[in-house]
Structure 1
Amino acid sequence: MTRIVGLDVAKSKVDACIRSMDLRLSAPSTQDGEAWLRANRVGRAVMEASGGYERAWAQALRAAGFEVLVVDPKRVRHFAKAAGRLAKNDPIDAETIARFAEAFPDGGAQPHDPAREEIARLVQARTALKDVEERIKQQREHRPPAIVIEALTAIAKTLRTELRKLEASIASRIKANPAFARRAEIIDSFPGLAGQTIAGLIAWLPELGRVRNEAASALLGAAPYDDDSGQRTGTRCIKGGRRKLRDLLYMAVVGAATQHNPVLKAYYQRLRAKGKPAKVAIIACMRKLIVILNTMIARNEPWNPPAQAAT
């Protein structure tokens, strides 16, 4: 069996736990940690996504020949609570990550793909700048003093320039990668999706086209879950999933379902006619969209709806 180490990565140090040998380490540097892992014949290093601090460790350990999994911290925390482990500090977290990795060998981690991860970081940066742009827009709506308006206008102009640079960089990286370029071509054939939505799907849902439709919906966080017990039938609602991608897709789906895509528009209107609230209908359209895209990419085929659906 592969010897597993759980790593809790912080800004200035890392805590490690090899449960099978009851060994622990707290080290300030990657070099010390690598030597310790190699001396103890570790094969797989598992760490949480911790706001970017884990990237340097993951890169260094992969370069040194270790298998690395970066897992969702929410799953690890829920796992700890389910196990009744309520205390939390860095050494405990390292042991919890190791326990989680033993219980769930794949950890739900995405396959390592440096090219995709680079695009994901650029898409995340663009999303952050768009949030700043929106906040500036909201501030200007409240008629601040003239000097504040002047400052906000200058910042907004700079933001737009930097956003165009980021978007061009994202587009060039996708175009330069044949697999990404083909995926983008297929997604772009679906009416109603813009370039940055396409980039988000490439960056944040690499499983698209490789999993069942139900799994694709669940990964997005657009799958309704049962809430039944005995004779009680609860309200179905969505849970979990990749919120960043869902937020990015929401307005695109609103436009596609109300204006730009004949299939989604007809589906949305049927749901509304049945009395479904607007947001429920939009999420249902989002789920339908991801199922359609999952099928298109799996078949390597562009958008080609039935004639009756397009009229």
Structure 2
Amino acid sequence: MAQIVRSAGIDVSKECLDVELWPERDEPLQVARDEAGLKDLVAWLRERRVSRVGLEASGGYEREVVDALEAEGFEVALLNPLRVRRFAQAKGRLAKNDRVDALIIAQFTAVMIEAPAPKRRRELDTLSEHLLFRRHLRKGIDDCTNQLEHLRDAKLRRKVEAQRKRLQTELTAHDAKLAELVAEHADWSELARRMRTVPGVGPVLAQTLIALLPELGRLSRRAIASLVGVAPFDDDSGKRSGERHIKGGREAVREVLYMAALSAKRYNPAIAEFAGRMSGKKPKVIIVACMRKLLVILNAMLRDGQDWRQAKAA
């Protein structure tokens, strides 16, 4: 008889981990999210011959768990919480608590995960954290700018202007730190250099793609566009042909790619010519298409190991 493959689902919280198995169930496990708890978790999973473990991304609390399990040889799938919740709703599971969530994650991992997930690249953590901090700085500057559009009180305006200036100074210093982080790694530095040969691609987009889209250059054009969330999906039924829409994807990558596409529309001849051919369409449709085009170009360049001029000639 074929051996039943057991999957485990872990609901990660700040304090503890709730664990369930599927399809052969057992008494659920709850351990503390600390070193001792992780050791107990590994022993429990080994005793039950679990082959694959699924857990949701949970704001960083999952990192230690993923690292500990991968170090012990387990196949770990880091799941999109929205997809898991939609899976639960499709099964008619409306209740939500830690044990229920762990069971749903185990079922999702057993049913929906077909191929082994790539291991988490821990070396990207520092760069990712610095990019998140930069994102917060940028948001703070934008908030100050928005406040100044409506404030009339002179004292309040001076305070907000001083705050914006301080954040801008900090952003400049932080950008220098990001450049240092990339320069410390020869492979990152070469990737950034190659991507920046494309007109419209600046240091922030290059750093973001290195840290948050390590799959770039390893997937097909359709797969990479879908992963980022710039691939249009059909909305057809019978004779009706609905509008195409983008859904999901990596928001942090998409935000930076949007700004790069705006620049590329002006300074990159290939993107400008591509946008010109779409004249008459909605502006949002054009910019999303330019984002996708720019991403596909970068994906092909990294796949083939070519700079912009070489890729353009090819």
Same fold, TM-score > 0.5, yes or no: yes
CA contact (8 A) 1:58 1:68 kept: yes
Give 1:16 deviation, angstroms.
1.1
Select the residue among 277, 298, 308 that pairs with 1:270: 277
Aligned-partner Cα distance in 2 for 1:110–1:74: 20
CA contact (8 A) 1:34 1:61 kept: no
Q: 1:76 to 1:233 in 2, by over 3 A?
A: same
Residue type at the aligned position of 2:17: V
- 1:165 alignment partner in structure 2: 173
- 1:126 alignment partner in structure 2: 134
CA contact (8 A) 1:71 1:107 kept: no
1:205 and 2:213 aligned: yes
Counterparts of 1:102-141 in structure 2 under 5 Å? 102-105=110-113, 111-141=119-149
Give 1:286 deviation, angstroms.
1.0
Structure 2: segments with no counterpart, 5+ residues: none
CA contact (8 A) 2:76 2:119 kept: no
1:86 and 2:67 aligned: no
Give 1:179 deviation, angstroms.
2.2
- 1:297 alignment partner in structure 2: 302
1:28 and 2:28 aligned: no
Q: 1:189 to 1:106 in 2, by over 3 A?
A: farther
- 1:71 alignment partner in structure 2: 79
CA contact (8 A) 2:11 2:102 kept: yes
**Identity across the alignment (%):** 39
Counterparts of 1:36-55 in structure 2 under 5 Å? 36-41=41-46, 42-55=50-63
Describe the superposition over 1:178-212 as per-residue Cα deviations: whole angstroms up to 9, x where unpaired: 22222111110100111111111111211111011
Aligned-partner Cα distance in 2 for 1:108–1:169: 35
Give 1:109 deviation, angstroms.
5.4
Greater shift, 203-212 or 43-52, is seen at 43-52
- 2:284 alignment partner in structure 1: 279
CA contact (8 A) 1:208 1:294 kept: yes
CA contact (8 A) 1:223 1:238 kept: yes
Aligned-partner Cα distance in 1 for 2:43–2:116: 25
Give 1:150 deviation, angstroms.
2.9
Aligned-partner Cα distance in 2 for 1:225–1:108: 26
SS at match of 1:218: helix
CA contact (8 A) 1:72 1:109 kept: no
Aligned-partner Cα distance in 1 for 2:45–2:264: 54
Structure 1: segments with no counterpart, 5+ residues: none
Give 1:5 deviation, angstroms.
2.0
Select the residue among 215, 239, 243 that pairs with 1:235: 243
Aligned-partner Cα distance in 2 for 1:99–1:126: 37
Aligned-partner Cα distance in 1 for 2:67–2:271: 41
Give 1:155 deviation, angstroms.
2.2
Greater shift, 129-138 or 11-20, is seen at 11-20
Give 1:66 deviation, angstroms.
4.2
Give 1:149 deviation, angstroms.
2.4
Q: 1:89 to 1:197 in 2, by over 3 A?
A: same
- 1:182 alignment partner in structure 2: 190
CA RMSD of superposed structures (Å): 2.3
- Which TM-score applies when normalising by structure 1? 0.90
Q: 1:22 to 1:35 in 2, by over 3 A?
A: same
- 2:10 alignment partner in structure 1: 7
Greater shift, 107-116 or 170-179, is seen at 107-116
CA contact (8 A) 1:217 1:287 kept: yes
CA contact (8 A) 1:100 1:107 kept: no
- Which TM-score applies when normalising by structure 2? 0.89
Aligned-partner Cα distance in 2 for 1:186–1:219: 22
